[in-house]
Amino acid sequence: MAALDKILTVDEMKAKARRSVPKMFFEYADSGSYTEGTYRDNESDFGKISLKQKVAVNLENRNLKTRMLGNEITMPVAIAPAATGGMQIADGEIKAARAAEKYGIPFTLSTMSVCSIEDVAENTTAPFWFQLYVMRDRGFIERLIDRAKAAKCSALVLTMDLQILGQRHKDIKNGLATPPKLNAYSVWQMMQHPIWCARMLGTKRHTFRNIVGHVSGDHDLASLSAWTSSQFDPALDWADVKWVKKRFDGPVIVKGVLDPDDAQAAIDNGADAIVVSNHGGRQLDGAPSTIRVLPEIVDRVGHKTEVYLDSGIRSGQDVLKAMAFGAKGTFIGRPMLYGLGAGGEAGVTRVLDILRKELDTTMALCGERDILNVGLHNIYSNDIPPRNAPVARGA
Ligand SMILES: Cc1cc2nc3c(=O)[nH]c(=O)nc-3n(C[C@H](O)[C@H](O)[C@H](O)COP(=O)(O)O)c2cc1C
């Protein structure tokens, strides 16, 4: 197996994670909804954008530092919230949060994480961001927001694109649908990975610890999963952004926006920033890639708020392209999960090293010394067809 320092790309990290993590958990990360068309487009659309090479520019003293929500970060990459990071490797969310903290970038903990808000707070020192799914049980959500406040989370990331769960076929086939079906096949999958199993046996963190013990009723894992999936609130609307912001009394980032009118509505209802996201292609299959809609959203609201992007970032080049189109920062979901699966905290750190090096080299070869100066002049922006233009078949 490749040592982490021999791994040169996120794709190679993914291959190592595939070998290290039981199939059902690896495929939980490596899946999109239905045909996975949006999941694929997120990645491939970045490849359609060409970069402008510039030469004879002084490239000394380059800078990747920037700000998200006013805080200085060492590069424009944040860790996206991802459910069950703690199933890619034992205590996964704590490990990813530590890697982010040491790197000086934001870490976002999912509502559906294995390690709880308190677990992460006890094992890190930098403030982190907490991602909120609004559920029908508003008493539980109020307590969750209060717990995030008590843990000194510095922002809430409010996810708006999961009122209804998109279907990922692999999860059903692997028995990961809710409630989970632990059958002979899934147990066999886990036993193929003795190191993974040994680490899991060494931790007490095996379930959704933001939820267990915090909702009424006596739940085992199966009934808890059923409770959770029945709890995503289909009635969620823009007024809830205001409600959440008032309760949290701090910055709220609205995640899951693909439409300029929605971006505007998020801001009108108090969002402090937005994430252009299609949930990594896990929700509405057939939705456009995020890099394709980013320009129109930046045009509409970029002068009023910070616009971030996730979904499909697999290299520092992708980060640069998103910044060129006007994003003020990016998030990585699967690259972080692959790093965790392949090597825990060191794996996530290696992913960040890879992205950083790629971003720095690409920026320099585009003739830029400062990430803050990257813009449309660094790319051939016509390479991405506008969303409403007919796309020729087979083009
Ligand atoms: C396995 C997995 C679990 C996820 N869980 C959550 C979640 O709990 N909350 C959330 O807001 N987004 C969740 N997401 C979406 C990510 O936050 C992010 O939008 C997406 O992963 C970005 O795309 P990328 O994986 O291509 O980087 C999840 C994504 C994956 C792959």
Residue-wise DSSP of 288-311: PPHHHHHHHHHHHHTTTSEEEE-S
pLDDT value for 60: 98
**pLDDT tens-place string over residues 17-54:** 999 999 999 999 999 999 999 999 999 999 999 999 99
CB distance 279 to ligand 1 below 6 Å = yes
pLDDT value for 220: 61
Cβ neighbours for 345, distance < 8 A, ≥ 6 positions apart: 95, 96, 98, 99
In the reported structure, the alpha carbon of residue 330 is separated from the centroid of ligand 1 by a whole-number distance in angstroms of 13
pLDDT value for 47: 95
pLDDT value for 189: 87
Question: Does residue 169 carry a catalytic annotation?
Answer: no
Give the end-to-end CA distance of the chain in Å, rounded to a whole number. 38
Strand 66-68 to 71-73 pairing: antiparallel
pLDDT averaged over the chain?
Answer: 93
pLDDT value for 178: 44
- SS3 at position 71: strand
Please say if the pLDDT value at position 388 is more than 60: no
Locate the ligand 1 atom nearest the alpha carbon of residue 310 and give its number. 22
CB distance 256 to ligand 1 below 6 Å = no
Average pLDDT over residues 175-191: 71
Name the closest-CA residue to atom 13, ligand 1. Answer: 82
Residue from 108, 95, 117, 145 nearest 212 by CA: 117
Q: What is the pTM of this model?
A: 0.95
CB distance 290 to ligand 1 below 6 Å = no
pLDDT value for 188: 86
Please say if the pLDDT value at position 225 is more than 80: no
Among the listed residues 169, 279, 303, 377, the single catalytic one is 279
pLDDT value for 183: 77
Residue-wise DSSP of 168-231: -HHHHHTT-SSSP---HHHHHHHHT-HHHHHHHHT-S--S-TTTTTTSSS---HHHHHHHHHHH
**pLDDT tens-place string over residues 95-134:** 999 999 999 999 999 999 999 999 999 999 999 999 999 9
**pLDDT tens-place string over residues 342-378:** 999 999 999 999 999 999 999 999 999 999 999 999 9
Average pLDDT over residues 256-279: 98
In the reported structure, the alpha carbon of residue 280 is separated from the centroid of ligand 1 by a whole-number distance in angstroms of 6
**pLDDT tens-place string over residues 199-216:** 999 999 988 899 888 887
Residue-wise DSSP of 320-377: HHHHHTT-SEEEESHHHHHHHHHHHHHHHHHHHHHHHHHHHHHHHHTT-SBGGG--GG
CB distance 29 to ligand 1 below 6 Å = yes
Is 378 within 8 Å of 370 (Cβ atoms)?
A: no
Name the closest-CA residue to atom 11, ligand 1. Answer: 159
Q: Which of 27, 253, 282, 332 to mutate to test the pocket of ligand 1 (most atoms within 8 A of CB)?
A: 282
